[in-house]
Amino acid sequence: MSFTIEKSIEILERTPEVLEAMMKNISPEWTENNEGGETWNVFDVVGHLVHGEKTDWIPRVEIILSGTPDKTFKPFDRFVQFEESEGKTLPQLLDEFKKLRKKNIGVLRSKNLTDKHLEEKGVHPAFGEVTLAQLLATWTVHDLDHIAQISRVMAKQYKEEVGPWIKYLRILNL
């Protein structure tokens, strides 16, 4: 399937609603337990998504479209949500994510991006040149990746409870 802005926005604008459907008013055991060790729980994942809306996706779009000679992105901090989410509740994070996402889709639409813009480049600190289209495709897939992760983290809370069915449930073996 080839990239388009509209197909990407179709996913991006659904994510806040998907997250709400998955976890609004759910028992805290589903969202406060992780997969063991240093893994993230659902609350951590939502905090990570909030942080991305603030510092990752749209700021990188701006760098690519800017006239500055150095188009290197700032590295994205994958652990800062542990501080930033402190003292917040899951409903607060979901609400914050929803508002930020809505605003960011508005910013994206307001740029009226053409095919020419989509080929413009920035520099990723780890692997070099990337296009605007690749950045926007990644933003989209990143949402889906974390929706799958949330499903997995929740599913693993019942890892023992399914008994011998464990071998039929791929998600418990990832």
Q: How many CB atoms lie within 10 A of CB 86?
A: 8
Binding mask 131-150 for a second copy (x = CB under 8 A): x-xx--xx-xxx-xx-xxx-
Residue 20 touches a second copy, criterion: CB under 8 A: yes
Residue 154 touches a second copy, criterion: CB under 8 A: yes
- The radius of gyration of the chain's CA atoms, rounded to the nearest angstrom, is 18
Cβ atoms of 152 and 171 within 8 Å: the answer is: yes
**How big is the chain, counted in residues?**
174
Direct distance between the N- and C-terminal alpha carbons of the chain, in angstroms, rounded to an integer: 26
Nearer to a second copy, 55 or 131 (CB): 131
- Burial degree of 31 (CB within 10 A; 0-12, 13-18, 19+): buried
Residue 157 touches a second copy, criterion: CB under 8 A: yes
Residue 121 bridge partners (DSSP)? 131
Binding window for a second copy (CB under 8 A); candidates: 67-75, 87-95, 103-111, 129-137: 129-137
Residues that bind a second copy (CB under 8 A): 1-3, 6-7, 10-11, 14, 17-18, 20-22, 26-27, 29-30, 33, 124, 127-128, 130-131, 133-134, 137-138, 140-142, 144-145, 147-149, 151-152, 154-155, 157-158, 161-165, 168-172, 174
